[in-house]
Structure 1
Amino acid sequence: MTSTATHLRTIALHWTDLHEAAGQPVTVGAFGLGLRGYLARLDAADRDEYGYDRNHAAHLRSQERDPLQLGERPVPVRLHILDTMRAVEAALVHCADDIAQAVQRAPIAGPTARRTAVAPYATQREADIAAADRARRTQLAHADLVDPRRWRYTGRRTASHAALWLLARIERKPGPCRRLTADEERRIGTVAAGAAARVERALDIAAQQRTLSTPCPDCGGAVDVHGGEGRVPVAHCMGCGRIWTEGGVIAA
């Protein structure tokens, strides 16, 4: 069974590949691009399988199109890649937000100034020691506030950064966070598995096999589809043994 850490590394390592693939022409042979009639429902089925809707539903409204964008405009060459990137990023960032809210401690508070008019220092040496201590505590508070290991709710909120931050939590790396509970690890695992599967399918870098909900049009038997890893997708009826590619029946 693939680990959560492996899923998160897959996302982080291939995020740049997705950016590059979004501007590339469609590659014939990618799993899910052929056999259009059979594969039309796979995306919705996969979201249900991995619990995807539960993990990024809160972000869907933020992904709605701005009314100013309505109308005719150029369409990206590989829109399904961009859709994958938006869905994966929304799910990972939302997951990181929730996990950080639960496990990340608040920044260290800085020192307060002493009201010397009310409580004056006895000697200049005492005043100098107190000033040095305040400067040290101020520096520590600032360092904790800007700690790069701290998850932030503004600024750098990309899928790759969220994946690496969640990976650090899974691997119990040092940082301003407590240890994850079993439920929190399972939550991250669910999101990571769904996101990695989407990335792999979009880039066609993993072998895929699905049993389709649509039966064989000839005998009504179950149809398995095999593809991925650059191979042309092939559908095989488990009942009558018929085999299809996008070009048509190749065996009966």
Structure 2
Amino acid sequence: MITARLTLANLRIIVAHWPDLHHALATTGTATWPPAGRMADYLASIDRRTDDEIEAADWNARALRDLERSPEQIGETRAPIRLRILDTMAAVETNLVEAADQIAAAVQRSPMSYAPRGWPAADRARRDQLAREDAADPRRWRYVGTRSGRHAAAWLLARVQGLPGPFERLTDDQLDRIAAVAASAAQRVEQALDMADHKATLTRPCPDCQGELVIEAGAGRTPMVWCSACGHTWTEQPSAA
């Protein structure tokens, strides 16, 4: 059984980074690694090339990106990142909302009933008020209305935490169900937002020792090229103002 701590961490990733997915919808590009558009910067740092050579490399990089997007190119090409983000959000949202529907059907208590007609007026008014408040409890999972992936993740997070509300305790099977959905969803979000580590070997050798060059980035780190033989490292040069 996946630990509750890991499940909570995965659900928090979804809640925290759902706005980032919306922001990423406005971006475009390809999912290739290393990123062709930035290779000129890496290689400029290594070679200390002239401005003309760097400009030529930039032109080649732009041409490569155009080729990757060209409908005339033979064979399959990767979809623009906007479509990948959209696909990720749709899949994650579908799975999380479905899980929340199933869990709510099993653990969410039905709202309090209204008072019978024969009750005294004061008692009936009080009971009906309690029934309305119970039905409108914001902690309840709704089968209509706000049903986003982020809302579903937050609701499932509260259930795993055991927060109070009109709910029964989760069973081990229900915890396992949430854990599996949360793990898959968090992985999709991290991949779509490029939060995971990336590493690739360059085709050209180290200019110092002819060793193998490796480009590494991801997880919020500044992209870097390093030689696996001599250990020399290069970082991306900042763009000229």
Confirm or deny a common fold (TM above 0.5): yes
The equivalences for 1:66-145 within 5 A come to 78-114=82-118, 130-145=120-135
Segments of 5+ residues of structure 2 without an aligned counterpart are 36-78, 200-215, 226-241
% identity of equivalent residues: 52
**In structure 1, C-alpha distance between the alignment counterparts of 2:182 and 2:89, rounded to whole Å:** 14
**In structure 1, C-alpha distance between the alignment counterparts of 2:107 and 2:152, rounded to whole Å:** 15
Segments of 5+ residues of structure 1 without an aligned counterpart are 37-74, 115-126, 210-225, 235-252
Look up the equivalent residue of 2:86 and give its one-letter code: L
Number of equivalences: 163
Residues 28 and 80 in structure 2, CA contact (< 8 A), matched pair in contact too: no
Residues 23 and 77 in structure 1, CA contact (< 8 A), matched pair in contact too: no
Structure number with the bigger relative contact order (C-alpha 8 A, sep ≥ 6) is 1
Mapped pair 1:183 → 2:187: no
Task: List structure 1 runs of 4+ shifted beyond 4 angstroms.
Answer: 230-234
User: Could you say which residue in structure 1 is the equivalent of 2:159?
Assistant: 169
**In structure 2, C-alpha distance between the alignment counterparts of 1:96 and 1:164, rounded to whole Å:** 10
Mapped pair 1:4 → 2:11: no
Look up the equivalent residue of 2:101 and give its one-letter code: D
TM-score, normalising length: structure 2? 0.61
Q: Deviations over 1:200-242 (max 9, x none)?
A: 1111123268xxxxxxxxxxxxxxxx863267799xxxxxxxx
Q: Deviations over 1:84-133 (max 9, x none)?
A: 0000000000000000011111111101212xxxxxxxxxxxx8xx2111
User: Could you say which residue in structure 1 is the equivalent of 2:22?
Assistant: 19
TM-score, normalising length: structure 1? 0.59
**In structure 1, C-alpha distance between the alignment counterparts of 2:113 and 2:224, rounded to whole Å:** 58
User: Could you say which residue in structure 1 is the equivalent of 2:138?
Assistant: 148
**In structure 2, C-alpha distance between the alignment counterparts of 1:19 and 1:138, rounded to whole Å:** 41
Residues 160 and 175 in structure 2, CA contact (< 8 A), matched pair in contact too: yes
**In structure 1, C-alpha distance between the alignment counterparts of 2:173 and 2:17, rounded to whole Å:** 27
**In structure 2, C-alpha distance between the alignment counterparts of 1:109 and 1:147, rounded to whole Å:** 14
Residues 149 and 175 in structure 1, CA contact (< 8 A), matched pair in contact too: yes
Measured after TM superposition, the shift of residue 34 of structure 1 is 2.4
Look up the equivalent residue of 2:33 and give its one-letter code: G
Measured after TM superposition, the shift of residue 139 of structure 1 is 0.5
